[in-house]
Amino acid sequence: MPFISRLSNLRRPSLLARAGAPAVLLGLLALTACAGQGGASAASAPGVDAKTITIGAVLDTTGPIKVICQPILDGDQLYINKINAAGGINGRQVKLIQVSDSGDSTKTKDAVRQLIEQDNAFAIFQVCGSGNANVAEAYLGPKGIPFIDPIGGGAQFKDASGAALPWLWMTQPNYGDEGHVIGYYATTTLKAKNVALLYEDDVLGLQQKTTLGEELTKNGANLVASVGYKATQTDFSSAVQTLKAAKPDLIVLNGLPGPTAQFILTAASQGYKPSIGYLANYPMSDNSWAKVLGSAGEGVYVSGYADVNTDIGKQYLAATTSDTTFSAYKFYGYIMSKLMLDALSKSGANPTRASLQTALNTDFNSYDTGFGPTITWSAQQHGGISDFEFLQIKNGTLTPVSGFIKASAVWP
């Protein structure tokens, strides 16, 4: 940094003697302090210089969850470009550097390390995948580096004692909360009595399995069968037969678009569909999933949490008129980038990681996301939104069929 190098030069005795050391040092220190409180000309933290704020993201654009992460990245860049064209954040342009870990959590730490140690990112905005996000937090948290928007409802945002992780802020709903709301909607609206569950057998699915069962029991219904699967699994013939044998009237699908679509298509090829059908959790709330399902997807219910019938939703639609199909994933990137850049704006003219932490903990109380739900963060609370709506595939397109339901209203 410029002032450090100048002060380093002035430590040479010959220079100090000629300049009149006390007066010069006091003057330079005063200038340094003023620079920290002035306009965008002062660099105040890693990744922040006079013209730019650099943030980093780990999004799989080369592996199995590219179908989700690539459109999220496109939405991120769409909003960031819009703000940069209008002058940026407090006079600085926002630069997003993205690295792909190919959806492999064993590669996530190296990806995050590259962003921090080589690309000099000020903060990390988005790591895709619950397990991947947990790996990233284990690296970032001890270093005091802000991590906003881990993409995955199974991402940890509390420590073992239940306290908020101090450098991570969730935006997405927790899969546990979603399990309660899915159970509520399944029993009170869809009138399901016997429910089965297909779930990803890891952090993504296990929490939701527990809370779904709790809500079903509370409302007089039964979780009659559950089958776990691995994220890389492609053959679901046995899973279909196991759940079919339990005679459910509804099957809840937990996980990611590829495996859950394969399950429905396999069931359809066997001539099977439960009487009420299927209800999928929010990673499937995109029309690309409906397109993969084709006719087998008609009538499928999906949990979601973003409403385009808002000002920011209308802005997004106006900016994407050339898109042939509405992408909820791309919209997600757009609205989350708004939140991230709002946080940067609130962190001051010359942001530091500490000032960003303070802004996130104090200026997001019932924060209006602009797409429906609100977010409340504090030093003690770093969880994401907890409002859900339900959609149904009609004529190949996801269509809202409910209003927002808040998890706290249905449990306990």
CA dihedral (399, 405, 410, 411) positive or negative:
positive
Are 405 and 284 part of one and the same domain? yes
**Are 173 and 282 in contact, with CB atoms under 8 Å apart?**
yes
Which residues of the chain are under the pLDDT cut of 70?
A: 1-44
Query: Residues 6 or more apart from 384 whose CB is under 8 A from it?
Result: 153, 157, 170, 171, 172, 173, 174, 375
Question: Do 9 and 92 fall into the same domain?
Answer: no
Residue type, 24: V
Is residue 41 in a domain? Answer: no
Q: What is the domain range of residue 18?
A: 2-27
Pairing relationship of beta strands 52-58 and 194-200 according to DSSP bridges = unpaired
pLDDT for res 6: 24
Please indicate, yes or no, whether residues 279 and 316 belong to a single structural domain of this protein: no
Phi, psi of 348 (to 5 degrees): 110, 165
Four-point Cα dihedral 358, 361, 363, 369, nearest 10: 130
* Count of other CB atoms within 10 angstroms of residue 13: 8
3-state secondary structure of 47: coil
How many domains, in total, are found in the chain? 3
For residue 33, is it within any domain?
no
Residue 146, domain CATH: 3.40.50.2300
123-128 and 277-280: which strand pairing? unpaired
Return the amino acid letter for 277: G
Rounded Cα distance between 301 and 284, Å, is: 10
pTM given for the model? 0.84
